[in-house]
């Protein structure tokens, strides 16, 4: 779709999926009813959105405007102000959209921390791996998407089994295993990836990372939802999704800042000796700021085009490699958090033993 209809067309793909999901959900999902009447937290929504907007803007634009520019510094100040106001409001609002008291529950806070880390470390990496495959290896959009199929299929195969394992043995083990596998995979990519790396070297790493993500996601959601009980399961799931989405937004901005800072510092000296005129240099530099290389339509000789491509490849990797290692480190830290705070087998066994002693069915427990 991207290759033939444009990148905007990808958003229409979600329409039939959403319709099918709505029909299935209305027929199969039991409605949960809360004893407490809920109200829309408009003030919290506005404050949280503004805080997220300013920090994302600052991280994305800092490389172009300069980290010390008044606009960037002002954006960080506004982010801090809106964040403090958001937290203050959520602590005092009886109908808060993000009830902060739930973060006192270890498995709830740990599950959301893991969701945030997965969004920041892993999902943001998909974006830059796509740029790597298209800009460095010259893959088409379709071929780049097909390159992720091993990871996608591994997630599909692993996630249901991980969920069943977590329901019996707790979420700690699959989450620890999955985050460790995914984090190590990202670190390996950061160490091994070069402009000439074969896809067949990436294949087993993608496969292992898919198994890791599949082993993490379902147990993570189960741990958070069970920590707040069935009446708040919807709220727990929503907060987990929010943590993951916010992590993804900030991850793209932060990893993008790491990548473009290194790319810019390495690319400018490399192209200085290629004999580009000011107009050509301006066009090339503008593309490089956004992680792409412009060589067509600006009157370059074949030797200049080849030299620019080589310079861009080397400069891109100097920024991409530390970004991948940083992303892997985030997931390894999340692995430690999950291992320390997510309930494991002993919690499930104690709950089931207590239920059996009372001649009852096993009850839901934190996983």
Most distant pair of Cα atoms in the chain: their distance: 84
Tell me how far apart the alpha carbons of residues 294 and 280 are, in angstroms, rounded to a whole number. Answer: 9
- Of 174 and 40, which is predicted with more confidence? 174
Among 197-206, 253-262, 283-292, the range with the most confident prediction by mean pLDDT is: 197-206
Give Cα 215 to chain centroid, integer Å.
Answer: 16
Model confidence over 44-83: pLDDT tens digits? 999 999 998 998 888 888 877 878 899 999 999 999 999 9
Q: Residue 71: which residues within 8 A CB-CB, separation 6 or more?
A: 61, 65
Nearest by Cα to 247 from 126, 74, 108: 126
Look up tokens 């780049």; give the residue: 144
Give one word for 6, left, alpha or beta, with left for phi > 0 and alpha for psi -120 to 50. Answer: left
CB 323 within 8 A of CB 259: yes
Question: Residue 361: pLDDT band by 50, 70, 90 thresholds?
Answer: very low
- Of 37 and 144, which is predicted with more confidence? 144
CB 225 within 8 A of CB 239: no
Is the CATH code 1.20.1250.20 the one for domain 105-357? Answer: yes
Percentage, residues of the chain above pLDDT 70: 89
For the chain, what are the domain ranges?
1-31, 40-98, 105-357
Mean pLDDT of the chain: 84
Model confidence over 79-133: pLDDT tens digits? 999 999 999 999 988 888 888 888 888 888 999 999 999 999 887 788 889 888 8
Residue 242 has pLDDT above 80, yes or no: yes
Model confidence over 210-226: pLDDT tens digits? 999 999 998 998 888 88
Tell me how far apart the alpha carbons of residues 212 and 216 are, in angstroms, rounded to a whole number. Answer: 6
Residue 38 has pLDDT above 80, yes or no: no
Tell me how far apart the alpha carbons of residues 256 and 56 are, in angstroms, rounded to a whole number. Answer: 11
């Amino acid at each position: 779709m991207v290759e033939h209809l444009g990148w905007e067309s990808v958003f229409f793909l979600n329409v039939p999926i959403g319709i099918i999901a709505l029909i299935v959900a209305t027929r199969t999902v039991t409605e949960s009813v809360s004893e407490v009447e809920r109200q829309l937290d408009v003030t919290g929504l506005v404050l949280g959105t503004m805080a997220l907007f300013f920090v994302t803007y600052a991280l994305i634009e800092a490389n172009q405007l300069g980290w010390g520019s008044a606009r960037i510094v002002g954006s960080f100040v506004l982010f801090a102000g809106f964040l403090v106001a958001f937290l203050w409001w959520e602590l005092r609002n009886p109908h808060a959209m993000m009830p902060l008291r739930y973060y006192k529950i270890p498995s709830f806070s740990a599950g959301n921390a893991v969701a945030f880390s997965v969004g920041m470390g892993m999902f943001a990496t998909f974006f830059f791996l796509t740029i790597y495959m298209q800009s460095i290896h010259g893959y088409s959009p379709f071929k780049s998407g097909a390159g992720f199929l091993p990871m996608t299929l591994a997630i599909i195969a692993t996630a249901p089994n991980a969920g069943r394992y977590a329901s019996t043995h707790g979420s700690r083990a699959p989450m620890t295993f999955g985050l460790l596998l995914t984090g190590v995979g990202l670190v390996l990519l950061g160490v091994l990836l070069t402009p000439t790396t074969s896809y067949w070297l990436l294949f087993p790493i993608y496969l292992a990372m898919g198994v890791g993500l599949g082993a993490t996601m379902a147990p993570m959601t189960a741990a958070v939802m069970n920590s707040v009980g069935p009446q708040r399961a919807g709220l727990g799931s929503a907060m987990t999704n929010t943590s993951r989405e916010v992590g993804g937004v900030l991850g793209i901005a932060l990893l993008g800042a790491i990548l473009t800072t290194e790319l810019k510092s390495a690319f400018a000296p490399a192209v200085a000796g290629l004999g580009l005129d000011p107009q050509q240099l301006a066009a090339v530099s503008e593309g490089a700021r956004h992680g792409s290389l412009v060589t067509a339509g600006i009157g370059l000789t074949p030797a200049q085009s080849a030299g620019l491509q080589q310079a861009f490849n080397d400069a891109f990797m100097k920024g991409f490699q530390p970004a991948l290692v940083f992303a892997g480190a985030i997931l390894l830290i999340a692995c430690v958090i999950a291992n320390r705070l997510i309930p494991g087998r002993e919690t499930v066994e104690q709950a089931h033993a207590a239920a059996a002693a009372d001649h009852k069915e096993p009850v839901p427990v934190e996983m």
